Amino acid sequence: MPGLLKLLLLSLLCGQVGWQLYCLCFRQQPARRQGVRHTAQGWQVWQPQHGWRAVQLRADSMALPSLVLLRYRYAHQWFYRSALIAADSLEQQSHRRLRVRLKFSRQRWQAVK
């Protein structure tokens, strides 16, 4: 690769890392997710400002014994978000139920209404 292209990519990467650190350390995060549930209406994510909101899960969501990676999007949004749920953040039984529901949910990729 030419040196100028490498420099451009490196500066973009540093800018993204800097922005993420700024958001993590100095900004209040009002859009933080604090809960996830599966009901008859589908998957929902809890946010303090909006309450329970319906989401559509992506096919690349993963359920491993040590963690659950949820890739989802809200209705009328194009980009996807991610949530990592570690095994020690929930009771063992709750984490297992979440993994089982994620693996065997038939409406997992259903469009958000």
**Same domain, yes or no: 8 and 61:** no
pLDDT tens across 78-88, in order?
888 888 888 88
**What per-residue confidence (pLDDT) applies to 109?**
57
65 and 81 together in one domain: yes
In terms of phi and psi (left: phi > 0; alpha: psi -120 to 50; beta: otherwise), the region of 76 is left
Across residues 66-89, what is the average pLDDT?
A: 85
Give mean pLDDT, residues 61-80.
Answer: 86
Q: Do 46 and 22 lie in a common domain? A: no
Q: Does residue 39 sit within a domain?
A: yes
**Is 110 inside a domain boundary?**
no
Task: Judge whether 72 lies within some domain.
Answer: yes
List pLDDT tens digits, range 20-40: 778 767 765 555 667 888 888
Q: Considering its fold, how many domains does the chain have in total?
A: 2
pLDDT at 98 > cutoff 80: yes
Residues 78, 52 within the same domain: yes
Q: Which contacts (CB < 8 Å, 24+ apart) does range 93-96 have?
A: 95/68
Q: Kindly state whether residues 42 and 18 are assigned to the same domain.
A: no
Q: In angstroms, rounded to a whole number, what is the distance separating the alpha carbons of residues 109 and 17?
A: 31
Domain that holds residue 45: 35-104
- How many Cβ atoms from other residues are within 10 Å of residue 43's Cβ? 24
